[in-house]
Amino acid sequence: MSYLYITATPIGNLDDITFRAINTLKSVDYILCEDTRQTQKILSKFNINNKRLISYHQHSSLYKTDKIISLLEEGNNMALVTDAGTPCISDPGYMLVSLVRENLKDKVKIIPIPGASAVISALSVSGFNLSSFIFLGFIPNKNGREKFIKTIVDNSKYVVCFYESCYRIEKLLDQIEKIFKDKNQLSRKMFIIREITKMFETSYYGDIQDIKIQIKNDTIKGEFVVVIDKFN
């Protein structure tokens, strides 16, 4: 029996790593990385040396995936990490987990090593009632944006959370304002946070018009987590 550890890493502040994650990274035979350079920074910070790293991401070839499967079959233990946060959450790591479950279910045990997650961290400080919520991942870059926002309106009984880039956040707010106005939801509360856990972490709270003013008067950098409250 070999082990595949789905290992969460910090989303900004490296001190957020868990003791268990450090011990896991020290103990495994291989570490599967979204970007080996980013993972090496974490390993260096915590004096984890001489580890065998394998690049694994959404563009990895079938040959690379087959190699990983073979190494697991041979009894090697592995940790799967992403550049930041919990693997497989809006992340292609789920494809490997699915393959292992389908093909090696009696040979490999998959174990979560919990830790940082941008979506959970943002939700926890939103101040909204989180008895139920919907996470929608990354908003589409081009096609499907309006449909995506209408999905938020259609799910007004739930808190909705998703990710957006600094390059499109102002356009997003304009689109949300237009659709919320059409659906009489302009008073619906929002919470947005950027650069979460990093030095320049900044958050914004209010209705859509309040948020637009706050962001317009601020420096727009980094990744944004958008949380929209339910609307009854």
Q: What residue segments make up the domains of the chain, in order of their start?
A: 2-113, 118-228
Q: Smallest Cα–Cα separation from 203: which of 191, 220, 219?
A: 191
Q: What's at 23, amino acid-wise?
A: N
Q: Smallest Cα–Cα separation from 3: which of 23, 29, 38, 21?
A: 29
pLDDT tens for the chain, 232 residues long, are: 999 999 999 999 999 999 999 999 999 999 999 999 999 999 999 999 999 999 998 877 777 888 999 999 999 999 999 999 999 998 888 999 999 999 998 899 999 999 999 999 999 999 999 999 999 999 988 888 888 988 888 889 999 999 999 999 999 999 999 999 999 999 999 999 999 999 999 999 999 999 999 998 888 888 999 999 999 7
pTM: 0.92
Give the dihedral sign, CA 165/171/174/178: negative
Please say whether the structural domain 2-113 has been given the CATH code 3.40.1010.10: yes
- DSSP per position, 177-222: HHHHHHTT-TT--EEEEESTTSTT-EEEEESHHHHHHHHHTS---S
Q: Which CATH number fits domain 118-228: 3.30.930.10, 3.30.950.10, 3.40.190.290, 3.30.70.270?
A: 3.30.950.10
